[in-house]
């Protein structure tokens, strides 16, 4: 174990080793079925362990639905965490599916000779994504002379993906091209789903109010660019910042003034989408904006669409023109020009487009759409 890592990290690694070796982290037979065939789902285990877990992130519900759909194909499903390389499965499996093949390979010695393998791809090619984040960090260093830590370095995809029977992919043709280095198996696009909010959607939103709604990796997702734009003297628009800033101390330190001392920038940190705070944001902000450098199909975008918010995003976010306003590039001057242009749009146009975003989310990005797209891919791969 490296000497330069923190005690907290060392304890976490030790805990994962113990849980993995003794099988404490395997959630067995999550659908409580009695099928002879067995599937190992390599994904996230929290939704299967914590019955109180909400769907504050799409993948909590999606993990359970994916397991249910696998069960419908006649498999008993065990689930392990993709982040624990020390897991020791028991017995042999007829199918393995999940966030593989990446750094974790705990399944290869636990497969039947004729077992099928399906990759569940939720992002662009990890190598490409990592390179793009490093590029953004270098650009930031040129602008401000500071070197921040990369936060989205997820390893690499193994060449073994070429031997898989198929893949399910969040995204579109643009993002799938990041996998061009591989001779990919049959790939089926799956749809990221939004939410059915229990509050009444207001479509008369303020075109001068913008929402940044991101998870980890603020430079990766372009928050640094937005802060530099909105913090300009007398900038005519407001930015509401919702993200996991507390976990990125170096970023928060570098942008302290912009985040906490700028009148038109309101920093809220993590915001639960089922909270009153999000409801207020959803009913005031006309636009969400995400100039990310790499995604699969960004969940925060369809979340905003579900609340009737117009999305302005980079092409890398995994959406097409029917879903969002696409930035041609993520240069600061381009982003600023789009912000200024759309903040001056007629209120009738804004109301209509907010309604269209809401309707589009219900029609094309519902939970039913996710289910249908995943089931279609599963059936075709398993029958091939």
- Strand ranges, E, within the chain: 37-43, 75-81, 93-98, 111-121, 166-170, 187-190, 206-213, 238-242, 265-267, 285-290, 310-314, 325-327
Residue 150 has pLDDT above 80, yes or no: yes
Burial class (CB in 10 A: 0-12, 13-18, 19+), 356: middle
Beta bridge partners of 39: 77, 95
Q: What is the pLDDT of residues 184-208, one digit of tens each?
A: 999 999 999 999 999 999 999 999 9
Q: Say if residue 169 is in the same domain as residue 69.
A: yes
Beta bridge partners of 118: 97, 166
Measured from the Cβ of residue 5, the count of other Cβ atoms closer than 10 Å reads 11
> Domain tally for the chain?
2
Q: Say if residue 358 is in the same domain as residue 372.
A: no
Q: Say if residue 178 is in the same domain as residue 285.
A: no
The answer to whether residue 292 is domain-embedded is yes
- Quote the tokens at residue 188: 């089926």
- Give mean pLDDT, residues 316-330: 96
Q: What is the CATH number of the domain that holds 76?
A: 3.40.50
Q: Say if residue 244 is in the same domain as residue 360.
A: yes
Q: What is the CATH number of the domain that holds 266?
A: 3.40.50.2000
Q: Say if residue 289 is in the same domain as residue 354.
A: yes
Q: Say if residue 223 is in the same domain as residue 308.
A: yes
Q: Say if residue 316 is in the same domain as residue 221.
A: yes
Predicted local confidence at residue 28, as pLDDT: 95
Q: Say if residue 289 is in the same domain as residue 175.
A: no
Question: What is the extent of the structural domain holding 29?
Answer: 8-121+157-193+367-383
What is the pLDDT confidence band of residue 10, given thresholds at 50, 70 and 90? very low
pTM for the predicted model, two decimal places: 0.90
Determine contact, residues 172/319, Cβ cutoff 8 Å: yes
The answer to whether residue 27 is domain-embedded is yes
Predicted local confidence at residue 55, as pLDDT: 66
Q: Say if residue 351 is in the same domain as residue 237.
A: yes
Predicted local confidence at residue 2, as pLDDT: 47
The answer to whether residue 129 is domain-embedded is no
Q: What is the DSSP string of 123-172?
A: SS-HHHHHHHHHHHHHHHHHHHS--PPP--------GGGGGSSEEEEES-
């Amino acid at each position: 174990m490296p000497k330069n890592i923190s005690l907290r990290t060392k304890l976490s690694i030790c805990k994962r080793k113990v849980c993995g070796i003794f099988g404490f982290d395997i959630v067995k037979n999550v659908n409580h079925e009695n099928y002879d065939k067995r599937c190992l789902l390599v994904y996230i285990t929290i939704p299967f362990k914590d019955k109180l877990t909400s769907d504050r992130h799409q993948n909590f519900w999606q993990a359970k639905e994916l397991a249910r759909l696998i069960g419908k194909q006649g498999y008993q499903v065990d689930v392990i965490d993709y982040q624990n390389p020390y897991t020791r499965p028991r017995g042999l499996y007829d199918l393995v599916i999940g966030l593989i093949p990446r750094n974790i390979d705990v399944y290869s010695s636990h497969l039947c000779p004729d077992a099928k393998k399906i990759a569940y791809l939720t992002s662009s090619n990890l190598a490409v994504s990592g390179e793009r984040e490093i590029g953004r960090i270098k650009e930031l260093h040129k602008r401000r002379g500071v070197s921040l830590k990369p936060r989205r370095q997820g390893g690499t995809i193994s060449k073994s993906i070429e031997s898989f029977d198929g893949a399910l992919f969040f995204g579109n043709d643009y993002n799938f091209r990041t996998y061009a280095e591989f001779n990919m198996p049959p790939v089926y696009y799956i749809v990221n789903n939004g939410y059915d909010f229990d509050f009444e959607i207001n479509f008369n939103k303020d075109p001068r109010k913008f929402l940044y709604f991101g998870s980890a990796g603020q430079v990766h997702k372009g928050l640094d660019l937005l802060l530099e734009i909105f913090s300009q003297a007398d900038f005519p628009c407001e930015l509401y910042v919702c993200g996991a800033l507390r976990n990125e101390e170096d970023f928060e330190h570098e942008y302290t003034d912009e985040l906490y001392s700028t009148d038109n920038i309101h920093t809220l940190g993590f915001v639960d989408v089922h909270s009153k705070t999000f409801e207020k944001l959803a009913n005031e902000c006309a636009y969400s904006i995400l100039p990310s450098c790499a995604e699969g199909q960004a969940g925060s975008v369809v979340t905003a669409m579900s609340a009737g918010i117009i999305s302005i995003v980079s092409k890398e976010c995994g959406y097409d023109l029917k879903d969002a306003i696409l930035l041609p590039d993520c240069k600061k001057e381009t982003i600023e020009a789009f912000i200024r242009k759309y903040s001056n749009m007629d209120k009738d146009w804004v109301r209509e487009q907010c309604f269209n975003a809401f309707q589009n989310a219900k029609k094309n990005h519902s939970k039913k759409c996710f289910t249908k797209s995943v089931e279609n891919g599963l059936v075709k791969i398993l029958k091939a």
